[in-house]
Amino acid sequence: MLDIKLVRTNPELVKENIKKKFQDEKLVLVDEVLDLDAKFRAAKTKCDELRNKRKVMSKEIGGLMGKGMKEEAEKVKAEVSAIGAELEALEKDETTYEAQIRERMLVIPNIIDDSVPIGKDDSENVEIERFGEPVVPDFEVPYHVDIMESFDGIDLDSARRTSGNGFYYLKGDIARLHSAILSYARDFMIDRGFTYYVPPFMIRSDVVTGVMSFAEMENMMYKIEGEDLYLIGTSEHSMIGKFIDTITPESELPKTLTSYSPCFRKEVGAHGIEERGVYRIHQFEKQEMIVVCKPEDSMKWYDKLWQNSVDFFRSLDIPVRTLECCSGDLADLKVKSCDVEAWSPRQKKYFEVGSCSNLGDAQARRLAIRIKGEDGQKYFAHTLNNTVVAPPRMLIAFLENNLKADGSVAIPEPLRMYMGGKDKLSK
């Protein structure tokens, strides 16, 4: 959510940013906010004047009564009563205008960074850098489910019967590999100085609307019927929500956190749910990284976060690339974002395995996450998040890139301690 002062003083900048995101239908919101803000401030000013006038007149009543001037005091009482009625009506207007302003401000997109490429959708995202040499082996790489089935490691049919499409049973060595990757990711981030968390897997609606846009919420979140609770789509939601209505001393920053959670997503949209596969599903697990920091440090942390993901995948012999998200592909709260994509030898192309985002102070404004400086002044924090790893999607990249001609799968050294010392999976 933007600072209302920015909309007041530079509405053209806000409108130009909306155009860069190809959301011209939202341009009218800026003028509506300006109109409502003018009405809100006028009502507030009038309310302040009436409160002051009522206070003065109330004191006058006491003086008149003390002098025995009862009739005059009654006249002043009548005026005070009339002021009270007018004030009550104006206070209702003030509350209404404030709510209408917030409703619109929550939909106006955040100001994107000047470095973000301008484009309509993800087809116009820009490759930044590649890490590792993408290899296509001289043997055919099967579909990822076929690889898992060759180890008797997945059961989709049973999951369809119990839960429907978009769910799965992992078992045996594949299930163990799934857990091993998450355990390694946890320790990888702890070794980089991040504090490990296991957060709540459900959050209230005020946290949901604080951490994401309405469009994301509608397409992602599962609502718990009869309760003010939603299943999280990522642990970022709980972890940023942890700081709601808090004031953190500047000396305690940055907050660097890494969290594990299951994730639940509707996956509403053009991509849909796969009938046979675990790339786009309703339930998965993820290790996340979250940073809360001073505004001047957020871009430095943004670069550190995506580099952590690159280093993690490269430690497992998986080639990756970073892809800068263009303006039209950025969610409304984001200032800047990049995807980390892993190489698929079977498809001979890269595919998304994680996303790194700098949200500026957008989440902090919505959730009242503030910092207290050494001078005593309070200001909004900046928040960032990034995927460390999200199996089972990461399993696709791992299995394809470590598959051998005989059908076995090599286990890189960092994972062996989590796999009972095994250096490969054999059929």
List, for residues 390-427, the tens digit of each pLDDT value: 998 899 999 999 999 999 999 999 999 999 999 999 98
List, for residues 9-64, the tens digit of each pLDDT value: 999 999 999 999 999 999 999 999 999 999 999 999 998 888 888 887 877 777 77
Task: Write out the E strands in 126-282.
Answer: 126-131, 154-155, 169-170, 195-197, 202-203, 222-223, 230-231, 246-249, 255-264
Identify the band that residue 285 occupies on the pLDDT scale cut at 50, 70 and 90: very high
Q: Is the pLDDT of residue 270 over 60?
A: no
Our measurement of the distance from residue 197's CA atom to the centroid of its chain's CA atoms, rounded to an integer in Å, reads 17
Q: Is the pLDDT of residue 276 over 80?
A: no
- What pLDDT does 268 receive? 63
List, for residues 189-206, the tens digit of each pLDDT value: 999 999 999 999 999 999
> 11-34 b/e with 16+ CB inside 10 Å = b?
eeebbebbebbebeebeebbeebb
Identity of the amino acid at 296: E
Average pLDDT estimate for 254-260: 98
- What pLDDT does 180 receive? 97
Identify the band that residue 82 occupies on the pLDDT scale cut at 50, 70 and 90: confident
Among 154, 184, 185, smallest CA distance to 167 is for: 154
Residue 125 to residue 323: CA distance in whole angstroms: 6
- What pLDDT does 363 receive? 96
Residue 94 to residue 10: CA distance in whole angstroms: 23
Q: Token pair for residue 289?
A: 């990284």
Residue 250 to residue 351: CA distance in whole angstroms: 39
Positive or negative: CA dihedral 359, 361, 364, 366 = negative
- What pLDDT does 65 receive? 76
CA–CA distances in Å: residue 72 to residues 54, 55, 59, 82, 84: 16, 17, 13, 16, 19
Residue 387 to residue 342: CA distance in whole angstroms: 13
Identify the band that residue 219 occupies on the pLDDT scale cut at 50, 70 and 90: confident
Are 370 and 246 in contact by the 8 Å Cβ rule? The answer is yes
Among 281, 292, 287, smallest CA distance to 308 is for: 287
- What pLDDT does 320 receive? 98
List, for residues 317-376, the tens digit of each pLDDT value: 999 999 999 999 999 999 999 999 999 999 999 999 999 999 999 999 999 999 999 999
Residue 254 to residue 302: CA distance in whole angstroms: 13
Beta bridge partner(s), residue 371: 248, 379
List, for residues 103-142, the tens digit of each pLDDT value: 999 999 999 999 999 999 999 999 999 999 999 999 999 9
Q: Token pair for residue 74?
A: 């009654």
Domain ranges of the chain: 4-105, 122-425
Identity of the amino acid at 224: I
- What pLDDT does 335 receive? 98
Our measurement of the distance from residue 134's CA atom to the centroid of its chain's CA atoms, rounded to an integer in Å, reads 31
Are 248 and 225 in contact by the 8 Å Cβ rule? The answer is no
pTM here is: 0.89
- The pLDDT mean for the chain works out to 93
List, for residues 236-249, the tens digit of each pLDDT value: 999 999 999 999 99
234: exposed, middle or buried (Cβ count in 10 Å: 0-12, 13-18, 19+): buried
- What pLDDT does 353 receive? 95
Residue 183 to residue 389: CA distance in whole angstroms: 10
- What pLDDT does 271 receive? 59
Residues 6+ apart with CB under 8 A from 211: 236, 237, 240, 241, 333, 363, 366, 367
Q: Which CATH superfamily is domain 122-425 in?
A: Bira Bifunctional Protein; Domain 2 (3.30.930.10)
Residue 237 to residue 304: CA distance in whole angstroms: 21
Question: Kind and range of the H or E element at 38?
Answer: helix 27-66
Decide yes or no: CATH 3.40.50.300 for domain 4-105: no
- What pLDDT does 49 receive? 87
Residue 381 to residue 299: CA distance in whole angstroms: 13
Q: Token pair for residue 290?
A: 């979250």
- What pLDDT does 124 receive? 97
Identity of the amino acid at 125: N
Are 279 and 307 in contact by the 8 Å Cβ rule? The answer is no
Residue 98 to residue 76: CA distance in whole angstroms: 32
